[in-house]
Structure formats: structure tokens, C-alpha cells
Structure 1
Amino acid sequence: MIKERVGLVQINNSFSNQNYFPLSVGLLQSYAMAYLKNPSDFQFLLPIYKNVAPEQAVGILKDASIVAFSVYVWNERLSLEIAAALKQRSPKTLIIIGGPSVHEDRGKAQAFLRTHPYVDILCHGAGEEVFVSILENFKTKRWQKVSSISFIDKEGKFISTPCIQSKTFDINAIPSPYLSGVFDPLMAANPDETWLALWETNRGCPFSCAYCQWGYNTNKKIYSFDTSKAKPASHFVPILMVNTNVLEAARINKVGKVVYVSTIGIYEEAGVLRESDFRCDSAPMDFAGWAKRMGELQIGAYKTQYGYDNFSIVCPAHVYGEGDNFDPKVSLVIPALLYRLSEGQENPLVVWGDGSAVRDFVYSGDVAEGIVLAMYHGTHGELVNLGSGIGTSIRELIETLHTFIPFEYRFDSSKPTGVAKRVMDISRAKTMIGYNPQTSLYEGLKITWDWYINNPDEHLKKKNHYADD
């Protein structure tokens, strides 16, 4: 099958013979490769990342079906010169312009398209989801189905589709182009290049400076990456210090019984998480899992060197319940949903993905009982899972909430669904410590919702340990 070739252009300034990785278009590619229905239908060319003559750029891009430009104040003129020359050379090539220089005002967007007829599509706001939608609709050219774009149709009519940006926008869904290998072919093709790397800790700007469109285009909102990604040291170092010192103090003072509470993040990604499959030389599903693994290794070292088996290790699944963290900036799926429902500002409530992702949600009261059982019976230094043992899809979760909370909802399958399945095997916990979680999903959610409605400001009293460096 012939693949559609995709060209990416983000021309950056060079400093002392050093060049920046083209982060913006790298994010477009990494997101597309992760969320396209059939990523094998597309072949991404090496991106153009530095100042080149228009004719040289055209030579590189001449066989591309689609070319996307990330346009900033410092590269707008050259980018448009390349786009114009490319369109003249290859009239059927789809030219997409995005980036901070694309104004949100639709009147100005129409004037731009009329002045630059070689540009086919203007992309407004963050481009990752829009780019995937453009690629998905490339064969049919049904651009009206793509959100957040402006274009001139075949009859010469200006069309601008609704913007998809909302408070539910989650930049944590964007894979890193550094970690996903997007830049590996670029580095291999340019072995003598000295690279400068940029990365995002947040996206957006609260200001509206006269010389910049970025604050205006993001509606003055700041979208932040998960703190475990944006501030990995703020996660890793405190957890490591607390674990190491508390466990060592317990050893020195000959504490009779110790229960170490780990996290589901220690496991590498898998559909069913079994203790027997856990290996310390595997990669955990998130960076914070490394810190918790150190505690488990420390307990294993005590058992090997001193023969201690009075340390127990439990690993909870996705815990929820009263006293949860309902701060929408850092909360997990259930408290985040309850917060949004309590605000009542979304009608319908838009849920990312198709609802098929399966998770192991366990009520905090059951986990607390499991910890007590681990303390009483002991796990002899072995890891024991504390989950519900039941897989619940996100659709089932929403439908269960709907049984006692009146709200409208819809699933947005154009958004990422997430990992298909993540459920704990709790057979070891049942056999070893008599663990038997009794709280149904309905009961646990109802208890949690009733508590939150009566204590809506409780989460504001919690200290955010990652707010400051």
C-alpha cells in the first residue's frame, strides 16, 4: 500500500552552530503516531528544522502529500515563502499552517487565507488533536469534520469550524518526541549536528502582550503537565528520602511489624498485574514508580542481609474514597469526575475516549482493611496486590455515577482512550492475608459523592507538595 508522505517544517534560529530540535512538529508526529487509527498509512519525512533556501526545502518536500508548518514570528516569512514555492511545484500538496502566529480571530484568518491562497488550512490553538483529525480526513477532504481550523472551500467560501479547546484539555496525553523515538532518525541523519533541546513543563500564557499572540490564543489559560512529568525530582526525591529513612529507622529500632505501601505505578504496563510477573529490571509505567521500587529493594536487602521478614509490602490499585484529593489540577479519574459533576458547568459532560478502557477501582476502606490484614498476618517481605480484582470500564464508571447523579454525558472518541486494560490479580492477597474487598463500585462511589458534597472545600486544605520547588 502506498503511504501518504507527511512533511513537517519548524524553522528555528541557530546559535553558535547549534540547532534546536523542532519540538512543536515533533509533538505533532509523536501524537499522530500514538493516536491515528492506522498510523502505518503515513510516512513522516525528516523535519526541516533550520534556515534553508526555499528551493532546497521544496526539493525535500516535493513528494509529500501533506506539509504542516509551525509558524512563529521569527520564521513566518521564510515558512510562507517555502509554502508558496512548494504549492507552485506541487499544487496537490496540502499546506497546513499552525502555531502561535495563527490568529484566533476568524476575520483575520479569512484575510490571511485570501492573501495567501497557497495555504489550504489554518490550524487554531494547540495542534496535536487537530493534526490527527486532518490526517484521518485527508482522503475524503471533509474538512468540516475537523475542529479548530479555517479554510476556503471549492466554491470560494470561507469556512471556520468550532474550536475544541476546553478546560478538559489534557497535555499529558501527548507522548514525548524524545522518549518515543521521533527524533532518532533526525539525529542519525545529522551525526555532526550539535543539538539544543527544549521541552514543555506547561502550555499557555496568562498575558496578552502586543507583540505576541500566544496569550490571546490560549485564552490566558495555563495547561500543565502531570507533576510527575514536569517535576520528576519533586516526586522522586521526597519519596525516596522518606522511604529510605523511615525503613532504616524501623530496622535500627527493631520495630516488630512494618507495612510498606507501594503503588500500582511500580508495575510495567500490562493488562493484568500479577505479583509473580513483577521484575525490578523492567521499566515502571511511570517515573514515580522508580522511587517506590527503591523501598521494595531496600526491604529485600534487609531480608537477604539480616534475615528480616517482618516487613510487609502492599500495592494498592486505583484507590478512591472520602478525603480524596478533588483538586482538578492533580486529582485522579474518580475525584476529577466528581469535581466536574459538582461544578455543574458541563452539559453534556464530555468524557475522553470511547469508554472502553478498563481499570481496577478499589474503595479506600477495603484498602485500609487490607493494610491492617497485612500488618496482622505479614507478607514476609513479599509484594501483595490490594485491588478490587474487578475490571471496570470507564463507560461502566460513568453509567454507575449516572444512576444516582443526574447529568448528561457523551464520549468523545476523537480523544485518546488510554491504555486498554489495567487490572490487579488479588489471588495472593486472598490466600496470604485473607483479603476480601466487599464494597461494590456503586456503594463506594455513592459514599464518596455524599462525603464530597458535604465537604466540598476539604481538598483545599491539603498541601500540594509539588507546588513549589
Structure 2
Amino acid sequence: MVDLICVIEHALAYDSASNSFLADKSAKIFVAGHRGLVGSAIVRKLEALGFTNLILRTHADLDLTRQSDVESFFAAERPRFVILAAAKVGGIHANNTYPADFIAVNLQIQTNVIDSSYRHGVKKLLFLGSSCIYPKFAPQPIPEHALLTGTLEPTNEWYAVAKIAGIKMCQAYQIQHSWDAISGMPTNLYGPNDNFHPENSHVLPALMRRFHEAKVRGDKEVVVWGSGSPLREFLHVDDLAGACVFLLEKYSGLEHVNVGSGKEVTIKELAELVKEVVGFEGELVWDRTKPDGTPRKLMDSSKLAGLGWTPKISLKEGLVDTYKWYLEYVKQ
């Protein structure tokens, strides 16, 4: 399969000069999902680079699951580039409770946006997925070619199957139509506009909220599940936004591209760092009766590094930035 991808990528090579993303700052760019963690970071990045014609629609303005509405939107707006960051997302509980929603809504969004983009003359599309596309027992670090080599993690397979379908749809349109549709798969993300819900958030924002609330209450300790030994990878969402611009400018290959920091941290190290950034002075207690989860989850981002892109924001710098945002917009 890897050899086949290499052959097809060579056959579908694009003229980078004529396909430049950065050359026209007035080009219409549709950022689908612009209010989310990823989409909002992409909007910030594009605006900072001087792009002046961003097309943004809320769910109330445009329901991406409705084919006729999406068709009408593309026919009227005719964007030149599309960044597909819109998705139905959630934690383990949500995935287990609403599996039909997670597979149906994401498939509908992807199918409508990708197909309408092609048929209405979009020059290039970037589809964004998640590291959950990979098998539960994938090799570590996880290379791109590990896709579809084993069974998925059961707690999020509905979402993962939809995202895999999105990757394959982009590949299919490249193969059949020689259309520039690419895919990026980010690692665990954090930053401004993250979800800090006390029950449904991921580990990093959950820790930040817990330490902050403990500091405000004057608690003497914070209890965290597990041993703290699992290894995880984190990428600031502003770095992801930079990688998205890089891929839109430099990459037109068939295979999806992993986007990660390439650096691991134990959950214990993460918790200690969040505690320091928040300024909680009590004790950190580990409840070893609770499960640790997967021992290690690291993506192999050497392909992206080989293309010339590496992240710039350190974990501590990113945590400080995120906590400032939390204090301004989320704190109770």
C-alpha cells in the first residue's frame, strides 16, 4: 500500500508555484468549524498572516449535515480554499452513549463539504482528523502507514471510522479527479477555546480546572486518577494552525500527514507542570485504584518534519498561554 501511495503521489504531483496558498491574501477561504478549538486557532493564524477574505458560518447560519444547504452555500460563495475543521466531538461517555450521532453526523459533514468543494471549483481542501484513527495497539511512535492495520479503540470507533472515511474520500477524489484534497491528523491538542467542562473535558484542561478551583478554595490536596506513568503527547493548537498553513502551501500528497510535537510527557510530569503554572501550593495525590489507560500514545511526525515544519511552542509556554485564556474566559 505504501508503494502504491508513492506511485500515485508522483503521478499526481502539483506545480507548487501555481498552487501557492500564501500568494493570494484576498483569496476566499472557508474555515468550517471556526468557533471550535482548532478552527478558531486557524482563523487567528490566517488573520495574522494578512488573509482578508475568510468565509465563516456558525451552525445556525449553515448546517453542514444538510446537503442542499451546503450545495447552496458553495454555489453562492465559491471559496478558493477550504479547511474542514468542523466535526462532532466528545469524550468516552458521549461516544458510548451516542454512537449513531458520531458516525452519521461526521460522515454527513465530510461528504457534503468535500463533494461540494470539488464540484464548485475549490482549488485545495484540507481535511483534519484525529490520532484516534489508528489501531488500539498500533506501533509506537505511530506512523501514517499504521492506518487500517488493526482494530480500533472500541470507545471511539464510531468517530474514528468516520474520520478514516474522510481521509479515504480525499484520496479517492485525488485519484479519480486529480483534485488537491489533503488530510492532516493532529495529536492531543490544547489551548484557547478548549473544553474545560468538569466532566467531559480531556486530561489537560481537566487538570487545569481542577488545580485552579482547588487553589481558589484553598484545598490542601488534589487527587488525580491512576499512577501518573502513562506517556502522552501534546501540541498547542496555534502550532497546529501553523502546520495547517504549511501543508496548504507545501503539501499535495495522497497520504495523510501526522501533526504532533514529537515530545512525550508522563501524566505525572504534566500534572506537576499544570500545578506550577496555576500556582496551586497543595499536595498532588495519585489514586492508584483508578485505571491508567493506554501506557503510551505518540505519533510519528517525522514525515512532516522532513517536509520542513516543526512546532515552536513549548509545553510550559503553551500552558501559561492557555491558563491566561482560562482566567479571562472560563473561570467561575
Question: TM-score range with shorter-chain normalisation?
Answer: 0.5 to 0.7
Of 223, 247, 250, 1:350 maps to: 223
Post-superposition, which runs of at least 4 consecutive aligned residues in structure 1 deviate over 4 A? none
How far did 1:402 drift? 2.7
1:431 corresponds to: 306
1:241 equivalent in alignment to 2:241: no
Q: Is the 8 A contact 1:264 1:317 kept in 2?
A: yes
SS in 2 for 1:319: strand
* 1:5-404 → structure 2 map (5 Å cutoff): 226-269=93-136, 270=138, 271-279=140-148, 282-285=150-153, 286-287=156-157, 288-308=159-179, 310-344=180-214, 347-404=220-277
How many equivalent pairs are there?
Answer: 232
Deviations for 1:110-161, whole angstroms, at most 9, x for unmatched residues? xxxxxxxxxxxxxxxxxxxxxxxxxxxxxxxxxxxxxxxxxxxxxxxxxxxx
SS in 1 for 2:303: helix
Output the TM-score relative to the length of structure 2. 0.66
What amino acid does structure 1 have at the position aligned with 2:238? G
* Cα distance in 2, alignment partners of residues 284 and 259 from structure 1: 24
Of 273, 280, 285, 1:410 maps to: 285
Seen in structure 2, the aligned counterparts of structure 1 residues 282 and 244 have a Cα distance that, compared at 3 Å, is farther
SS in 1 for 2:298: strand
* Cα distance in 2, alignment partners of residues 284 and 378 from structure 1: 28
Structure with the largest fraction of helix: 2
* Cα distance in 2, alignment partners of residues 339 and 235 from structure 1: 26
What amino acid does structure 2 have at the position aligned with 1:413? R
Which structure 2 segments of 5+ residues have no match? 1-90
Q: Is the 8 A contact 2:211 2:280 kept in 1?
A: no
Deviations for 1:421-467, whole angstroms, at most 9, x for unmatched residues? 001111101123x2210111111111101110111269xxxxxxxxx
Q: CA-atom RMSD, angstroms?
A: 1.8
What amino acid does structure 2 have at the position aligned with 1:275? E
Report sequence identity in percent: 31
Which structure 1 segments of 5+ residues have no match? 1-223, 459-469
SS in 1 for 2:183: strand
* Cα distance in 2, alignment partners of residues 339 and 232 from structure 1: 28
Structure with max Cα Rg: 1
Deviations for 1:389-424, whole angstroms, at most 9, x for unmatched residues? 111110110121232322421111221111100011
* Cα distance in 2, alignment partners of residues 328 and 402 from structure 1: 17
Q: Is the 8 A contact 2:196 2:206 kept in 1?
A: yes
SS in 1 for 2:109: helix
Output the TM-score relative to the length of structure 1. 0.48
* Cα distance in 2, alignment partners of residues 335 and 237 from structure 1: 28
